[in-house]
Amino acid sequence: MTSDIRKLSLLLLFLPFSLWILLLIILPHIGMVYLSLQEKVAPRVYEFGFANYIDFFMEPIYWNTLIRTGLMSLLVTFLALLIGFPVAYYIAKLAGNRTKGTLFMLCLIPLWVSDLIRAFGWILLLRESGIVSSALVGAGLIDTPIEFLYTDATVIMGLVYTVILFMIVPLVSTLDGMDNAMIEAGYNLGGNGFTVLRRIIIPYAMPGIVSGCIVVFMMTAGSYLTPILMGGKNSSWFTEQIYDQFISRYNWESGAAFGFLLLAFTSIVVWVGLKLSGQTLTSTVAKS
């Protein structure tokens, strides 16, 4: 009787999560794959085939845009790690309890507003008549206003700002569980700061690093608003190609194929990253 109650409780506990996975993740992706294999041969007449995938590989602008999106997403991930790691280390190992809470809240504040508002905030700062350009003109550093928007640099800056919290949180979670005695032992054995960082801190934090990199890379590659608003029409982000297929060209079959190719591409990059780092997805999620 007790065993049955436990099984029923466990079933009810996991039922909402199972439905969420089934209805919002598995079924839509099955639908995407099915739709992507629909080949239009006449008005409202479809056959199964790989024409949508063949069209993607036959058109260089499509796969060039996908590769460009992947490379820029890797750069954003690297910059987020470079900036986020010292912040996470300070919060986890150096800050007091009250300061730690304050710093976490400061990191969360940007998430209180939507991506759209945050992007327009950057636009107000960086446009030709914006605050930065006007301040430089006023200080006499430049003669005429400069347009800082619609470049790869502004897109990367905006994306790093958007996703960096998702790098900091898993790093803090991992580093917080690290015993300070390990660091002290490293110094007592004659190691300098760089040696302790390389031989003790980074290996211990590797599950958090990998977890943060996976989340940041996937979010960046799938981002749409920030590249469009800060990069303009020529941002050449792959999600823009997907949007065009679905909305502008009303070619849902190609849009589904493009979406599935983006998922496959990012999954391959994550798999390669796990192999290079010597981590597994299960252990990374469990430890971070």
Summarised one tens digit per residue, pLDDT across range 3-13 is 777 778 888 88
In this structure, the dihedral spanned by the alpha carbons of residues 128, 216, 20 and 267, taken in order and rounded to 10 degrees, is 120
- The yes-or-no verdict on residue 1 having pLDDT over 70 is no
For the chain, the structural domain boundaries read: 53-286
Q: By the 8 A CB rule, do 228 and 247 touch?
A: no
CA separation for the pair 151, 27 (Å, rounded):
38
Map residue 46 onto helix, strand or coil.
Answer: strand
pLDDT at position 27 is 93
pLDDT at position 25 is 87
Over residues 129-136, mean pLDDT: 88
Over residues 236-243, mean pLDDT: 90
- The yes-or-no verdict on residue 192 having pLDDT over 80 is yes
CA separation for the pair 113, 94 (Å, rounded):
29
Place of tokens 């845009």: 65
Residue 104 one-letter amino acid: F
- The yes-or-no verdict on residue 171 having pLDDT over 90 is yes
- The yes-or-no verdict on residue 287 having pLDDT over 70 is no
Over residues 227-239, mean pLDDT: 84
- The yes-or-no verdict on residue 286 having pLDDT over 70 is no
Q: Whole-number mean pLDDT of the chain?
A: 88
Banded model confidence at residue 147, pLDDT cuts 50, 70, 90: confident
Banded model confidence at residue 156, pLDDT cuts 50, 70, 90: very high
pLDDT at position 210 is 92
Q: By the 8 A CB rule, do 166 and 84 touch?
A: no
**Which residue did the predictor score with more confidence, 149 or 44?**
149
pLDDT at position 288 is 60
Burial (0-12, 13-18, 19+ Cβ within 10 Å), 282: exposed
Most confident among 95-104, 138-147, 162-171 (mean pLDDT): 162-171
CATH architecture, domain 53-286: Orthogonal Bundle (1.10)
Summarised one tens digit per residue, pLDDT across range 17-56 is 889 889 988 999 899 899 999 988 777 788 888 999 999 9
- The yes-or-no verdict on residue 110 having pLDDT over 90 is no
pLDDT at position 104 is 79
Banded model confidence at residue 285, pLDDT cuts 50, 70, 90: low
- The yes-or-no verdict on residue 70 having pLDDT over 90 is yes
